Structures are given as C-alpha cells and as structure tokens.
Structure 1
Amino acid sequence: MPNTFGLNRTLGGAIGLIALLTVLSGGAVLLTRNQLQTANEALTHSGQVIRALDMFRAAMLNQETGLRGYLITGREGSLEPYRSGRPALDAAISRLRNLIGDDAERSSLLADAVAAARMWQADIGEAAIRRSADPATRAEAVDIEADGKGKAMFDTLRGKLSAIEALEERMQAMQNARVAQAERNESLALWGGTLLTLLICAGIGFAINRLIVRPLVRVMGFVERVGDGDLSGQLEAGTGGEVGRLAGTLNAMVSGLSDLARTNRTATLDLNAAAAEIRASAQEQAASVEQQFAAVQETAATVDEITHSGAQIAKRATEVIATAQATAQTSRQGLRAVSDTAKAMEAIREQAEAVAGNIVSLSEKTQTIGDIIETVNDISERTHLLALN
C-alpha cells in the first residue's frame, strides 16, 4: 500500500494551515495594536505635559498680573491672583516633574524654568510686595517690577517651557506618524490575513472537491450501477488515500461478484438440465406405471372372469356328479375336466400372485420416483432463488 495522505491528514493539514494563518494574522494585528496603544499613550502623555506647561505659564501670569494690579491700585484685593498663582505654580511644577520623570533634557529645561520662576517670586514678587507696603519705598517697588530683570526671568522660563513644549510637539508628531503607521499596519494585517485566509480556503475547497468530493461521487455512481445489477464496469482508482483504497476494494468486490454470478449461472444451467432429464425420466416412469396399472386391471378382470367361470364349472360339476351315476365314462371325463380346471385355476392363482408382486414393486418405485420429483422441485426452487439473488 503506498504511503499517501489520508482524509484525516488532508483535512487536519488544511485546518492546521488555516489555524496557523489565523494565529499569525492575529499576532500581527496584536503587535500593531500594541504599537498603536503605545503611541496613543505617548500622545496622551505629551498632551498632559503640554497642559501642565500651560498651567505653569498661567500660574506665573496670574502672579505677574496680581503684582501689577497691587502696585497700581495698592489694594490688598488686587493680590488675590498673585496668592492663588503660587500654589497653582507649585502644583504645576510637581505635575511636570511626575510627567517628565527621568528624561534628562526635559528635566534640565524644567529645572531652569523653575529656577527662573522661583527667582522671580523672590527677587521681584516678594521684594516688590514688601516695599509697596511702605509708602516710603513704594516707588522702589514699582521700579523693581518695571525693571527689565523680571521680564528677563519671564523670558527665560517661557523659553525653557517653550523648549519643553517643542520637544513634546516633536514627540507628538513622531507618535502621530507611529499611530498612522500602526493603523496602516493593522489594516494591512487584517486585510492581508483575511485575503490569504480566503485564498487558502478556496484552494482547500478546490483540493477537497478534486481529491475527495469528485472521487466519492464517482464511487457512489459506481455503487448505484452495481446495485442495479451492472457488474461489467470497473472504477478508476486514480487517487490515493482512503478513496483510492475504497475504489480498489469495490473493484475487487465487483470482480468477485461477477465470478460468483457466472458460477451461479453455470450451476443453474446444469441444474436445469438435470431437472429436465429427471422430469423426462419421471414422466416415462409414470407412463410405464400407468401401463402396468392397466395391465393389472386387465389381469384382475380376467381373474374375475375366471372366478365366474369356475363357479359355472362347479355348478356343471355338480350336475355331472348327479349324472355320473348314469355313466362312468362321463364321470371320468368330468373328473379329468375338473382336474384340468383345478390346475388351470392354480396356474391362474400363481400368475395373480406374481402380478400382485409386480404391482407392489411398481408402487415402491412410484414412491421413489415421487421422492425424486420432490427433491428436484426443491432443488429447482433453491436454484431459482439463487438465480434471483
């Protein structure tokens, strides 16, 4: 038997190939999905950093606005933006440090911005507020705020914050590119995997139709023809595996059935010929028996006639005896006639016994012939049943 792939290996290989392609496609989609998630997380992080930078700027702007208002009006209420801006600045600095983490470049820029902000708070904001509280030094407080040092500090922290923002914007642009690439990769993996799966499924369907379905259809048609009694055809065993072995087995079975049918037909013909001969012999025996039976009937009629004649002879013998006294010669003649008649009757009796023996023998032969005819009829019925099968 050649080493061929069976149906279970073929179907198992097809299912395994589809499963492998599905796993690979799913892995590619999962990988691109992870890249997309990472890029989105980086974008979210950059957005949080930029919002924290805006909080930093807003807190410093509120402090500068509150300080200017206080210097212009001299009212304590004007310092409210300045006072609310200090904790907001601390919160923004803390959030930025948490968001930036161990990044050296961003940490250095943030440290410079925080240093400029703290210097402005100490040298400009707090100094101007202290001097502004005393009318004698109020003019100095205005000069401190109007001096270019505060603007330089603001320019420094704005520059550092803008540098951090520029880094985050470049990071966002890069992550947006990664997101777009990841989306393209994901779409390519999905569509490519789907297309390959469809192509493989189509190829597997074509292979199954060619290697399994079509041979099975041919086998079923061949089996139907065999079921209708056509034992003359042969099935082409062109494929391997179970279908090929099935075709070979069916061919061997049909060949055996054909040989058996020929043997049965020959045996049936022989049995029919023997039955015909036995039937002819039985008919001849029956005709002979009928002839012998007619002879027996004729013999019986003759015996009846002889018996009737004997009765008449006995009557005549009585008359002869009656008249014997008249003449002796007539008596002797009558005695001789009686003796001859008795001998004839004895001979007739022996012939009747012989005929009865022949009748018994013929009856036994007739019984034997009846048994033979019954056996022949039984054989004929079985032969007819075998021929039908």
Structure 2
Amino acid sequence: MPQTLGLNRILGGAIGVIALVSVLSSGAVLVTGDQLREATDARSRSNQLIRALDNFRAAMLNQETGLRGYLITGRDGSLEPYRTGRPALDEAIDRLRSLIGQDPERTRLLADAVAAARGWQTEVGEAAIRIAADPAKRDEAVHIEADGQGKRLFDTFREKLAAIESLEGAVRAALAERVARGERNESLALWGGTLITLLICLGIGIGINRLIVRPLVRVMGFVGRVGEGDLSSRLDVRSGGEVGRLGATLNTMVAGLSDLARTNRAATADLNAAAAEIRASAQEQAASVEQQFAAVQETAATVDEITHSGAQISKRATEVIATAQATAQTSRQGLRAVSDTAKAMDAIREQAEAVAGNIVSLSEKTQTIGDIIETVNDISERTHLLALNAAIEEEAVKRAAAGKTRSDTTQRTIEEITGRVEENVQTFQQIVASTNQQQLGIEQVMGALQNIRQASQQTAAGTRQVEAASANLTELAQALMALAERYRH
C-alpha cells in the first residue's frame, strides 16, 4: 500500500478485504452445510425406512406367533400378539409408503410385500382362527397353517422387504459418501477461509505496523519527551496521511510551546516581582490600617467621654438656669418690696415734714405768748412738751430722708442685681443651647467615628485578604516559574 494513503482508506480497505473473505468463506461453508444437511436428512429418512421395514417384519412375526400359540393351546389369550400385530403392520405400511414416496421400484416391491402379508392374514390367519373356533376342526386349522402356504407368503414379503432394504443399502452407501464429502468440503471451506483470513490479517498487521504503528511509536516517544519538558527536539516526519499531518502538527505545537515557555518564564518572573511588591505594600497598608483603627478607637473613647461630660454640663447648666430663674424671681419680688417701702418712706417723710412745719409754727407762736404761758404752768409744761416733740419731728424727718436715700440706694442695687441675674439667665440659656448643639454635634461625630471604625475594620479585613491573595499570587508565580523551568528549549 502506498504511504500516501490515509488511515481511513487503509483501515477501510483492510476491513473490506477481511469482510469479503469472511463472506466468501461463510458462503462456502453455508453451501457445503446445506449439502451436508440434505445428505444427513436423506440418511435419516433411510434409517427410518429400515426401521419401518423391521417393524413390518416384527408385526408379521407377532401375528404368526399369536396364531401358532392359539392353535397349540386353544386359548383365546394366546391370540394377543396376533391382534396387536395387525395395527402395527398397518402403521408400518403407512410409514413405508410415506418414506418411499414416488420411487417406482420401491413402490412396486412394497406393494408385492403388502399383498403377500395381506394374503397370509386372509388365507392363513383368519381362516385358521375361524376354523379353530370349532374344537372338532382344530386339526384342520393346524393343517392350514402347516401346509406351506403361509411359509410361501412369508417368504414372499420377506423377499420383497429384503429387496427394498438392498436398494436402500446402496442409497445409504451413497448417502454416507455424500455426508463424508460434505463434511470434508465444509472443513475445507471453514479451515481454508480461516487460513486465508489469518494470512490477510497477517498482511494487514504488517502493513499497519509499518504504516501506522511505527510512526505512532515515534510520535509517542516524541510526545513523551515533550511531556518530560524537552521542547528542543523535532519529530522527523517520514510518512504522509494522518500520521504525517499529526507529526507536522506536533512540531508546530512544540514550537509554539517553546515560544510560550520563554514568554511564560519572563512573565512569571515579572509576576513574581509584582506579587512580592503587592504583598509588601499590603503588609505596610495593613500595619497603617491597624494603627488608624487603634487611633479611631482611642478617639471614639475620648469623644464618648466628652459626650458624657457634655451631658453632665448640660444637666448642671439646666439646674443653674433653674436656680438663676428662681433668684431673678426673688429679686423681682424684693425689688417690688423695696419699691413699696420707698413709696411708704416718701409718704412718711412728707407727713413728717408737714408735722414738723406745724410744730415749728406752733413753737414760734408759743414763744410770742410767753408771758401768757408763764401764768399757766400747766400750759407751759405742755408747750415745752410740744417743742420737744417738734424737735423730735425734726429728727424724724431727717431720718426719714436718710432712710429714703438708703431705700433708693437699695432699690438701685436690687435693680442692678436683678438685671445681672436676668443677663446671667440669658447667658446660661445660650450656654445650654450651645451645649445641646455641641452634644448633637458630638453625637454626629460619634456616629461618624463609628462609621470610620467599621470602615477601618472592613479596610483591615480587605487588606488582610489582599495580603492573602498576594501570598497566593506569589505561590502561583513560584509554581509557574517551576513549571516553566521544566521545559527546555
């Protein structure tokens, strides 16, 4: 076979030849098998014919034996073989006619044998039995059976049956020769086809070994070297077809793998360096994030303390406002009391001044009538008392004036205290409002710090994942480097 044939054509042709040889040998075996089966069937029919002839003879012998037993003993039970022999003879005759078929000579011989058998049954058997029924005529019945007529009839059908058997013997010999020849032909066809098939398979195996197996062995050796990492060699393509195309494709693939290995080695080195840098950066970032997280924790704790302190300050400021408002209320009440006192002092001062004026006028008039007073001591004493009272009212006026002055001063002082208390109340209210705003701001800052802390935790977790990924990337780069080092080019 030319080496340029494809594997499909080679294998297809080989399978076609084997199939053709198998079909031919199978056909020969089938033909010889049919011949052998025909010969075997014919021999089987011949054997059946011989058995039917034997059954014919046996049936006639049974009838003769039963008849003789009856004639000797006179007992009816002795006729049992005779009675069973008659249907057996009929069955044997039918079987022989079926087996002989249309063969004229055998048909004629069978007809003569049947005529002789029927003649014996009629002329000897039935006649002797009919006469032997009368005991006085038994000797006559015995004479019928022994006068030789029965023997001649027996000899006739035996002769005819022997002739049929002789003819069948020649047929049996021919059939045996046919069977033997058929068996030889079948063996020759079977073994010849097998031998030819084996020779063809041997030739096909040699061709496949030269055209397919050997090139595939070279290809497998080359593939094994490539699998071990040797990319420097090339496959020597010596054949065409699929194997040749496979070798050329493998050479192209190995060349591409060699280029890929070089590129992979360089890329792996760069990947390893980049992975190391990423890992170092991730570790630094992780440390920074940890520090930031610690700072956020401390800041959150400080802000928490400030929030607590602000809440206490707001509470104390609220209490001070309440106290200041109570003080301002008391100051306003004292201011109203001082104002009422000042008004009462003004009224007293005015009355004292009026009394003092009346007393001074009265004293002056009293002095003008001093002479009159002398005469009336009692009146003088009373006048002197009035003058004393006048002097007292003059002092009372002064003191009332002094009290008025002090009351005014107290009123102004209380007014100033009340104003300052009200200012302090307003200031404390502003402080409380500012403290509340500051508390809200601090709570917002606290929420922001919580978010920052969560973000820091997530950033730290992400950084650790990046670090782990960097470590995995480094391991992968090292594995790729080791894999790339396996290939030589």
**TM-score, L = length of structure 1:** 0.57
Decide whether the 8 Å contact of 2:219 with 2:235 is kept in 1: no
Decide whether the 8 Å contact of 2:219 with 2:247 is kept in 1: yes
Decide whether the 8 Å contact of 1:219 with 1:235 is kept in 2: no
Question: For the residues of structure 1 that align with 2:224 and 2:71, how far apart are their CA atoms?
Answer: 111
Provide Cα deviations, 1:142-197, integer angstroms capped at 9, x if missing partner: 23212222211111100111122223333333323333333333333332222222
User: 2:69 aligns to what?
Assistant: 69
Decide whether the 8 Å contact of 2:3 with 2:211 is kept in 1: no
Shift of 1:91: 1.5
Decide whether the 8 Å contact of 1:70 with 1:76 is kept in 2: yes
Question: For the residues of structure 2 that align with 1:38 and 1:165, how far apart are their CA atoms?
Answer: 21
- Counterpart mapping for 1:87-98 below 5 A: 87-98=87-98
- Counterpart mapping for 1:298-377 below 5 A: none
Shift of 1:6: 1.6
Name which of structure 1's ranges 182-191 and 78-87 shifts more when overlaid on structure 2.
182-191
Provide Cα deviations, 1:253-297, integer angstroms capped at 9, x if missing partner: 79x99xxx9xxxxxxxxxxxxxxxxxxxxxxxxxxxxxxxxxxxx
Matched, 1:55 2:55: yes
Shift of 1:229: 6.1
- Counterpart mapping for 1:1-389 below 5 A: 4-135=4-135, 137-218=137-218, 235=236, 237=238, 239-244=239-244
**TM-score, L = length of structure 2:** 0.46
Structure having greater relative contact order (Cα 8 Å, sep ≥ 6): 2
Provide Cα deviations, 1:5-43, integer angstroms capped at 9, x if missing partner: 321011001011112222222222333333333233222
* Other structure's SS at 1:69 match: helix
- Cα RMSD after superposing both structures: 3.6
The number of residues matched between the two structures is: 259
Question: For the residues of structure 2 that align with 1:108 and 1:79, how far apart are their CA atoms?
Answer: 31
Say if 1:216 and 1:83 are closer, same or farther in 2 by CA, change over 3 A: closer
Say if 1:85 and 1:229 are closer, same or farther in 2 by CA, change over 3 A: closer
Say if 1:183 and 1:6 are closer, same or farther in 2 by CA, change over 3 A: same
Shift of 1:114: 0.5
Say if 1:148 and 1:225 are closer, same or farther in 2 by CA, change over 3 A: closer
Shift of 1:88: 1.5
Question: For the residues of structure 2 that align with 1:250 and 1:73, how far apart are their CA atoms?
Answer: 108
Question: For the residues of structure 1 that align with 2:122 and 2:61, how far apart are their CA atoms?
Answer: 15
Say if 1:244 and 1:78 are closer, same or farther in 2 by CA, change over 3 A: same
Decide whether the 8 Å contact of 1:67 with 1:82 is kept in 2: yes
Shift of 1:54: 1.2
Shift of 1:53: 1.2
Say if 1:81 and 1:216 are closer, same or farther in 2 by CA, change over 3 A: closer
Provide Cα deviations, 1:293-338, integer angstroms capped at 9, x if missing partner: xxxxxxxxxxxxxxxxxxxxxxxxxxxxxxxxxxxxxxxxxxxxxx
* Other structure's SS at 1:5 match: coil
Shift of 1:45: 1.7
Question: For the residues of structure 1 that align with 2:152 and 2:179, how far apart are their CA atoms?
Answer: 39
Shift of 1:51: 1.5
Decide whether the 8 Å contact of 1:113 with 1:158 is kept in 2: yes
Decide whether the 8 Å contact of 1:46 with 1:172 is kept in 2: yes
Question: For the residues of structure 2 that align with 1:83 and 1:224, how far apart are their CA atoms?
Answer: 94
* Other structure's SS at 2:5 match: coil
Shift of 1:67: 1.7
Decide whether the 8 Å contact of 1:65 with 1:81 is kept in 2: yes
Say if 1:150 and 1:245 are closer, same or farther in 2 by CA, change over 3 A: same
Say if 1:205 and 1:68 are closer, same or farther in 2 by CA, change over 3 A: same
Question: For the residues of structure 1 that align with 2:49 and 2:56, how far apart are their CA atoms?
Answer: 10
Say if 1:165 and 1:229 are closer, same or farther in 2 by CA, change over 3 A: same
Shift of 1:110: 1.1
Structure 2 counterpart of 1:98, which letter? Answer: S
Gaps of at least 5 residues in structure 2 are 260-487
Decide whether the 8 Å contact of 1:222 with 1:235 is kept in 2: no
Question: For the residues of structure 1 that align with 2:79 and 2:220, how far apart are their CA atoms?
Answer: 100
Decide whether the 8 Å contact of 1:112 with 1:157 is kept in 2: yes
Question: For the residues of structure 2 that align with 1:205 and 1:118, how far apart are their CA atoms?
Answer: 74
Question: For the residues of structure 1 that align with 2:148 and 2:31, how far apart are their CA atoms?
Answer: 55
Provide Cα deviations, 1:187-208, integer angstroms capped at 9, x if missing partner: 3333222222222111111101
Provide Cα deviations, 1:109-161, integer angstroms capped at 9, x if missing partner: 11111011011111111222223333554443323212222211111100111
Question: For the residues of structure 1 that align with 2:221 and 2:153, how far apart are their CA atoms?
Answer: 97
* Other structure's SS at 2:102 match: coil
Structure 2 counterpart of 1:167, which letter? Answer: L
